Structure 1
Amino acid sequence: MIKSRRQILTGLGALSLASCATAPKTLQFGQSKFILGDLFTLGVASGDPVSDGFVIWTRLAPDPLAPNGGMTEATQVTWQVAEDESFSRILKAGQTMATPEWAHSVHVEVQGLEPLRPYYYRFIANGLTSPVGRAKTAPVLGAAVDSLRFGIASCQHFEQGFFNAYNDMVANDPDLILHMGDYIYEASWGPQVRRQAATDAMTLTDYRRLHAQYKTDKALQAAHAHAPWLMIWDDHEVVNDYAGLNDENYMPIEQVRARRRAAYKAYYEHMPVRLRSQPQGDHMRLYDYFYYGNLMTMALTDGRQYRDDQACQTATDGGGRPVSNASCPEFLDKTRSMFGKEQERWLMPSFARSRAKWEVLAQPTLFSRLFQTDRDGNAASWNDGWDGYPATRDMILDAVAQRKPENFISLGGDMHSWWQADLKADYNNPNSQTLGTEFVTTSVTAHSYSYSRFQSMLADNPHIHFVDDRKRGYSLVNVTPERWTIQMKEMSTIYEPEAPAVTAKKYIVESGRAQAIEA
């Protein structure tokens, strides 16, 4: 079993838990009935909304955990987009082929719709009709917009709990959903309330079966069908702590390349992303900008595929760990990059220049500096996070300082915990300018055992105002021209599919003020 970075950090093993529960109740949109032989067992999804359309997705899989999903032949699929759920007025329709090469997945880029309004979509194949999905177009670029509501999710391990956070998210009716990465976990670890289809994914079949199994979660299906999604990824879509073509266990590069090729292909086959993201071998472009009128611009970034290898590894550990600053001159190497030079060249010309009210960086993990020590008490940096790639972080914060966007927010996941922090011009000087605000969302199910250690770090990190890894959940964001409001929604338990959520914390960032206020 591949170890998690949280286990490395704390040295604690996973707890053993078990639970049995009934299936969740039916939600309004998008749930398959799970009749063996039904083509649409994985539901439907939409993504990447623009002002005149969006992507709609499904995968034909009558036997979803079979290596080929129960399909062998290419199949014609009809798609329809309507202005109402009953499809009394169909506005757009067409046909496409679901082929074995792409696991009978379907990606349709719908165009020619009106901005900022909801639409309904469905698929028809072999006389069977899919569940109905709902998607919403974005406003025209630069148009005045009064509000936006979106949910944020990350780190959902199938074995470690039910994805019940999505039930509450859907009940709050978001305009879109942002996933911060670790949509699947390639390895089995931690408490288990249900079993994964693969315990250490290596092959295309392994990754396909995992993605299909995750998509059978009823709450996840309902969330995909309720609103369009924006996607970034972290490491577990491939393997723990991978960096470019480097593996934490020093797997030969050709094996890493083959594993990444399989993982990226399966990811594309199961996500509502555009055809331009179709993998080319072991490369898949996922980074992009998302624009929501004049209200928000979001940079969706890739922190894994292009990065340099982690600094100062040992002969036996090529993954993430706290490394003594004094022993690691690589931390000071300004050529080392979290994003890679190609992605930097895409990001930086437009970053913080959109003139939107809210400029947002969506990246996988904690962006702020985290002062900590290693096991020997030496000042250290976590070499797999942003502290291991300070030159890239400095480049981004320097751009914010120089270009002065009206408001700057960083969003992250990965940490299996909530964080709220100030983004500082100089983390070595607590009195330096605060350039923006950071929020990190906890995991949907993946566990963490670092509460005491995180709390002990706060005294050395005055820019960090809150951290808590004891509960699972999601974040709900409401954005207006005047303020950014985020609710940290905590699940009472993840061992029951119908468990309720409560708001654990609520923060407000007033436009023009860089610091968050607890509400």
Structure 2
Amino acid sequence: MLLSPDGRTEAHIPSTAGGSLPSGLFTLGVASGDPLPEAVVIWTRLAPRPLDGGGMPDRPVRVRWEVAEDERFHRVVRRGVALAHPLVGHSVHVDVQGLRPDSVYHYRFRAGDEISPVGRTRTAPTPHSRPRLLRFAFASCQDYQAGFYTAHRHLAAEDLAFVAFLGDYIYEGPANPAALRQHEGTGEPMTLAQYRNRHAQYRSDPDLQSSHAAFPWIVTFDDHEVDNNWADEIPQDPALQTPEAFRERRKAAFQAYYEHMPLRRESTPRGLDMRLYRRLRFGRLASVHVLDTRQYRSDQPATIEAANDPALSMTGAEQEQWLVHGMRTSGSRWNVLANQVMWASNDRRAGPEKVYDLDNWDGYRVQRRRLLEFFGSGQVDNPVVLTGDRHCTWVCDLKPDFDDPASPVVAAEITGTSITSGGNADPVAFHNTYDPIMAESPHWKYIDNQRGYVVCDVTRERMLSSLRLVSTVRAQESTVRTAAQFLVESGRPGISVAG
């Protein structure tokens, strides 16, 4: 008997799900995400005309799905029927239950006479198991117009338990005639249809599809999925977007984001809200605390003095309490934060004058200090912050007071580079600017501005992270190399360059 995700038999799926369908249904590929010991989400979206609203008839469509132990689907372990509904852009999110922990599976979908590409996924270990190794990668910032997704092509070839994607999955900017690749549309997306088209353009990329199909992803958003530097209900340019218009834009952006991500139903947008902060555990080895630093934050301060206002919050009080409690009680050897914007103090000018980007945690200093003091209180084991946003690699020690040389190191942060954003880098100009600042910033351990991703190997004794850089994003072919490795040892806060 075939079951839909909500347990209904195929006979109970409404008859409106029938009828002829267009061809080319699976143009956006497949994906999986948020692995649990006995469950994982599998995703697809039916979109024969991906850049023109999807091109599906205005009715629900039956989609069969299968999960198997082998790539040829000789050993199918779960199957069912889901509805691809026009209210969610004909996307499908199946929370597949009853799987074996720490196991590899393959999955596919069927609609009409067409079969999707095959995806590969992996469940998490049981909560009380003690895995010898956890290997995963993290990445962020994939501006379509800035280059080809050569990093995703190499990322798909890695052997990983999951990928954590830390934000800026799409960019909301209009088409740039000078760019390597062009955004669809005539301006910034504002409506649900426009955000759907923008997501679909990104999802149409074959290298991004291969990266999604290779392993489960754990996703969170930053700003460009909605509007540059937005904060709660405040856009970047309040003079140009009324509060009412931005709220409608935010709703549309959230809905399109959910429709294109392998997220559970708990993350379904409800009006202005979308629950994205959550926690995933990988045995007793590591817990991944996924943050949302956009939806609940105070507006960015305008000055360093204002950044010391104790009322300012990056996360909101509820999420901060959730984070502190979860890290304190995780029972994991490592507590990894999947975070969007940089925690470490990041001066942008050499010499006595201090210049900061106050969209980062530099703008929310009282809360940052409070959390970093908690990290160093002995109540949480081995906190490591993984960050996106900067389009550069910044490897840092974290301390409650970055201006006090005596302030203790309490944690490590790896701010990873971008997939494409920023295009091919100029390392010489970058180091000419930032090496003098690095000499004044002893908590900085390594900096670089080339494109790629980071692979993390976690054992009970250490976390070794490898910076994987591609040779170019200006051509569809590239090489990849390990440019440096960074070491965090269990029980010893801070990070060092290992090679």
Matched residue, 1:12: none
Match of 1:110 among 96, 99, 112: 96
Deviation at 1:373, TM superposition (A): 4.9
Instruction: Say if 1:150 and 1:177, in contact at 8 Å, map to a contact too.
Output: yes
- The CA distance in 2 between the partners of 1:297 and 1:354, in whole Å, is 7
Instruction: Say if 1:353 and 1:403, in contact at 8 Å, map to a contact too.
Output: no
Matched residue, 1:4: none
Secondary structure, aligned partner of 2:463: strand
Matched residue, 2:402: 427
Secondary structure, aligned partner of 1:345: helix
Deviation at 1:372, TM superposition (A): 4.3
Matched residue, 1:363: 339
Q: Deviations over 1:26-53 (max 9, x none)?
A: xxxxxxxxxx821101000000000001
1:517 aligns with 2:471: no
Secondary structure, aligned partner of 1:258: helix
Please give the residue correspondences for 1:156-305 in structure 2 after superposition, counting only pairs within 5 Å.
156-188=142-174, 192-198=179-185, 199-250=187-238, 251-305=241-295
Q: Deviations over 1:341-387 (max 9, x none)?
A: 2212322222243231111112102111123459x974343221101
- The CA distance in 1 between the partners of 2:289 and 2:435, in whole Å, is 30
Cα 1:182–1:478 change in 2 (3 A) is same
1:401 aligns with 2:379: no
Identical aligned pairs, as a percentage?
40
Matched residue, 1:152: 138
1:43 aligns with 2:13: no
- In the alignment of these two chains, the number of paired residues is 468
Structure 1 residue runs of 4 or more that deviate by more than 4 Å after TM superposition: none
Deviation at 1:303, TM superposition (A): 0.5
Instruction: Say if 1:297 and 1:360, in contact at 8 Å, map to a contact too.
Output: yes
Matched residue, 1:88: 74
Deviation at 1:459, TM superposition (A): 2.4
Instruction: Say if 1:75 and 1:99, in contact at 8 Å, map to a contact too.
Output: yes
Deviation at 1:212, TM superposition (A): 0.5
Please give the residue correspondences for 1:416-455 in structure 2 after superposition, counting only pairs within 5 Å.
416-447=391-422, 451=430, 452-455=432-435
Deviation at 1:425, TM superposition (A): 3.2
Cα 1:434–1:377 change in 2 (3 A) is closer
Matched residue, 2:451: 472
Matched residue, 2:19: none
Secondary structure, aligned partner of 2:258: helix
Deviation at 1:213, TM superposition (A): 0.6
1:76 aligns with 2:51: no
Worse-superposed segment, 381-390 or 256-265: 381-390
Deviation at 1:190, TM superposition (A): 9.2
- The CA distance in 1 between the partners of 2:329 and 2:376, in whole Å, is 12
Give the residue type in structure 1 aligned to 2:216.
Answer: P
Deviation at 1:73, TM superposition (A): 2.4
Matched residue, 1:138: 124
Instruction: Say if 2:160 and 2:215, in contact at 8 Å, map to a contact too.
Output: yes
Instruction: Say if 2:287 and 2:334, in contact at 8 Å, map to a contact too.
Output: yes
- The CA distance in 1 between the partners of 2:43 and 2:52, in whole Å, is 20
Deviation at 1:416, TM superposition (A): 0.4
- The CA distance in 2 between the partners of 1:421 and 1:352, in whole Å, is 23
TM-score relative to the length of structure 2: 0.90
Give the residue type in structure 2 aligned to 1:52.
Answer: E
Instruction: Say if 2:290 and 2:338, in contact at 8 Å, map to a contact too.
Output: yes
Secondary structure, aligned partner of 2:477: coil
- The CA distance in 2 between the partners of 1:186 and 1:369, in whole Å, is 28
Matched residue, 1:341: 317
Instruction: Say if 1:56 and 1:108, in contact at 8 Å, map to a contact too.
Output: yes
Cα 1:403–1:350 change in 2 (3 A) is farther
Cα 1:71–1:150 change in 2 (3 A) is farther
- The CA distance in 2 between the partners of 1:71 and 1:214, in whole Å, is 22
| Runs of at least 5 residues in structure 2 that lack an aligned partner in the other structure | 1-21
Instruction: Say if 1:289 and 1:297, in contact at 8 Å, map to a contact too.
Output: yes
Q: Deviations over 1:416-471 (max 9, x none)?
A: 000110011321222321111110110100007772433332122110111122x1
Instruction: Say if 1:238 and 1:263, in contact at 8 Å, map to a contact too.
Output: yes
Instruction: Say if 1:60 and 1:71, in contact at 8 Å, map to a contact too.
Output: no
Give the residue type in structure 2 aligned to 1:234.
Answer: D
Instruction: Say if 1:159 and 1:191, in contact at 8 Å, map to a contact too.
Output: no
Matched residue, 2:15: none
- The CA distance in 2 between the partners of 1:145 and 1:69, in whole Å, is 45
Deviation at 1:68, TM superposition (A): 3.5
Deviation at 1:399, TM superposition (A): 1.4
Deviation at 1:116, TM superposition (A): 0.3
Q: Deviations over 1:126-168 (max 9, x none)?
A: 1211111111000011211111111111000111111111121
- The CA distance in 2 between the partners of 1:69 and 1:393, in whole Å, is 46
Deviation at 1:274, TM superposition (A): 0.4
- The CA distance in 1 between the partners of 2:328 and 2:400, in whole Å, is 15
Deviation at 1:404, TM superposition (A): 3.9
- The CA distance in 2 between the partners of 1:508 and 1:175, in whole Å, is 20
TM-score relative to the length of structure 1: 0.87
